[in-house]
């Protein structure tokens, strides 16, 4: 089936996310805008205007009421999803790299970059306490002196946040005390993206060391590894099939020396249990920066360096395909 092409950004995409029910797709890019689209036909609903720098991250709460974005303009903003109105702005000292609502939608977390003398912090705000928002005072602010946080997701019950760092480490930060509850180091280079499975029991990390790995969210046990020859920018776990999708690219300097033939940047599908690649989807004109599965598993989307978001609906053969076993 032909993919739906979303042309709404002027610069490369940084993150895309579906809401819980999957009818909306949120996309943010380096062009300062956050867009929301109907995933069924690609029609754009609207734009969240306000940021004055590249928008690095986006999240939507479980009820599709609020939208959270983090940007290089040193702010994390809360928006009303339906109207597009900015509800709150939390100023920071450095760029906001990753953000998210917890399972209940009441607590938000975001991390800030290590920049211009400021350390990397992981901040927690409780939205039920308007005072915190007004005073711009998180109830918990954890400094990370070593490697900065590059990606983070909430645990299944809002008790901890799993964060990936620039040096490949993965840490579990408690949302109550701020302590590091667990830590592991399975990757050797920066963790570009972390995404959870739809039931939040597992998550997959995408790393610059050309591999993506699957872990159990609570125990941080390393379950599976998926190896490629290019740095992996983003990975996602299918909600209904035993598949994962990965999108990647190469070092910016080497882009001109590799195949620049049209549309050769591919999203790669691996079998989650066998760790074997079984399919590729071409189409992007540049490295793929973010991928996401629709919550019903019948389609997936990818956002690229080329500024396009492509929504692909799977053919029936995709669901029937099986590797011999």
Partner 1 sequence: MRDTEDMDAELEFDEGEEPSFSDPEDFEDDISDSELLGDILREKPQEADGIDSVVVVDNVPQVGPDRLEKLKNVIHKIFSKFGKITNEFYPEADGKTKGYIFLEYSVPSHAHEAVKNADGYKLDKQHTFRVNLFTDFDKYMSISDEWEPPEKQPFKDFGNLRHWMEEPDCRDQYSVIYDSGEKTGIFSNDVKEPIEVEERARWTETYVRWSPKGTYLATFHQRGIALWGGEKFKQIQRFSHQGVQLIDFSPCERYVVTFSPLMDTKDDPQAIIIWDVLTGQKKRGFHCESSAHWPIFKWSPDGKFFARMTQDTLSIYETPSMGLLDKKSLKINGIKDFSWSPGDNVIAFWVPEDKDIPARVTLMQLPSRNEIRVRNLFNVVDCKLHWQKNGDYLCVKVDRTPKGTQGIVTNFEIFRMREKQVPVDVVEMKEGIIAFAWEPNGSRFAVLHGESPRINASFYHVKSNGKIDLIKMFDKQQANSIFWSPQGQFLVLAGLRSMNGALAFVDTSDCTLMNIAEHYMASDVEWDPTGRFVVTSVSWWSHKVDNAFWLWTFQGRLLQKNNKDRFCQLLWRPRPPSLLSQEQIKAIKKDLKRYSKIFEQKDRLSQSKASKDLVDKRRGMMDEYRTYREAAMKMYQEQRPLRLELRGGVDTDELDSNVDDWEEETIEFFINEEIIPIGDL
CA–CA separation, 310 and 288 (whole Å) = 10
CA–CA separation, 197 and 191 (whole Å) = 17
10/275 with CB nearer partner 1: 275
40/87 with CB nearer partner 1: 40
Burial (CB < 10 A; 0-12, 13-18, 19+), residue 152, is buried
Show contacts with partner 1 in window 228-247 (CB under 8 A). Answer: 229, 242
CA–CA separation, 187 and 170 (whole Å) = 9
- Sign, CA dihedral 300-212-214-241, equals positive
Question: Which x/- pattern, by CB under 8 A, does the window 181-220 give for partner 1?
Answer: ------------------x-xx-------------x-x--
* Residue that has been written with the tokens 């809002």 in this structure: 158
Cβ 120 to partner 1, closest distance in Å? 28
Burial (CB < 10 A; 0-12, 13-18, 19+), residue 174, is middle
Using the rule CB under 8 A, give the single segment among 19-27, 84-92, 122-130, 303-311 that binds partner 1. 19-27
Among 84, 105, 178, 279, binds partner 1 (CB under 8 A): 105
Question: Which x/- pattern, by CB under 8 A, does the window 119-148 give for partner 1?
Answer: ------------------------------
Using the rule CB under 8 A, give the single segment among 97-105, 127-135, 144-152, 304-312 that binds partner 1. 97-105
Where b means 16+ CB within 10 Å and e means fewer, 181-219 reads beebebbeebbbbbbbbbeeebbbbbbbbbbbbbbebbe
96/153 with CB nearer partner 1: 153
Among 91, 146, 254, 315, binds partner 1 (CB under 8 A): 254
CA-based R_g, the chain, Å: 18
11/189 with CB nearer partner 1: 189
Using the rule CB under 8 A, give the single segment among 10-18, 131-139, 254-262, 310-318 that binds partner 1. 254-262
In the numeric block, which tokens belong to residue 253? 């300097």
Asked if residues 173 and 181 have their Cβ atoms less than 8 Å apart, the reply is yes
The site for partner 1 (CB under 8 A) is made up of 20-22, 38, 40-41, 62-63, 103-105, 156-158, 199, 201-202, 216, 218, 223-224, 229, 242, 250, 254, 257-259, 272-275, 295-296, 323-325
């Amino acid at each position: 089936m032909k993919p739906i092409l979303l042309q709404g950004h002027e610069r490369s995409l940084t993150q895309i996310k579906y809401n819980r029910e999957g009818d909306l797709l949120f996309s943010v890019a380096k062009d300062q805008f956050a867009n929301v689209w109907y995933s069924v036909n690609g029609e754009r609903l609207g734009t969240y205007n306000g940021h004055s720098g590249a928008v690095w991250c986006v999240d939507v709460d479980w009820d599709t009421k609020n939208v959270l974005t983090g940007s290089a303009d040193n702010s994390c903003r809360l928006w009303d999803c339906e109207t597009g109105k900015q509800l709150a702005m939390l100023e920071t000292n450095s760029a906001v790299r990753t953000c998210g609502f917890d399972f209940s939608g009441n607590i938000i977390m975001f991390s800030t970059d290590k920049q211009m003398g400021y350390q990397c912090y992981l901040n927690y705000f409780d939205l039920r306490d308007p005072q915190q928002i007004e005073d711009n005072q998180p109830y918990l602010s954890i400094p990370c002196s070593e490697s900065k946080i590059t990606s983070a997701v909430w645990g299944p019950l809002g008790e901890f946040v799993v964060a990936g760092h620039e040096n490949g480490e993965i840490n579990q930060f408690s949302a109550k005390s701020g302590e590091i509850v667990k830590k592991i180091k399975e990757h050797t280079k920066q963790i570009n993206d972390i995404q959870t499975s739809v039931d939040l029991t597992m998550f997959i990390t995408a790393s610059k060391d050309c591999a993506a790995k699957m872990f159990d969210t609570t125990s941080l046990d390393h379950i599976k590894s998926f190896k490629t020859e290019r740095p992996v920018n983003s990975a996602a776990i299918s909600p209904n099939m035993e598949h994962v999708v990965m999108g990647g690219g190469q070092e910016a300097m080497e882009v001109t020396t590799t195949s620049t033939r049209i549309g050769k940047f591919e999203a790669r599908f691996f079998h989650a249990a066998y760790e074997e690649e079984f399919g590729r989807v071409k189409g992007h004109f540049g490295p793929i920066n973010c991928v996401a599965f629709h919550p019903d598993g019948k389609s997936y989307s990818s956002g690229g360096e080329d500024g396009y978001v492509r929504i692909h609906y799977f053919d029936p053969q995709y669901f029937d395909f099986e590797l011999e076993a």
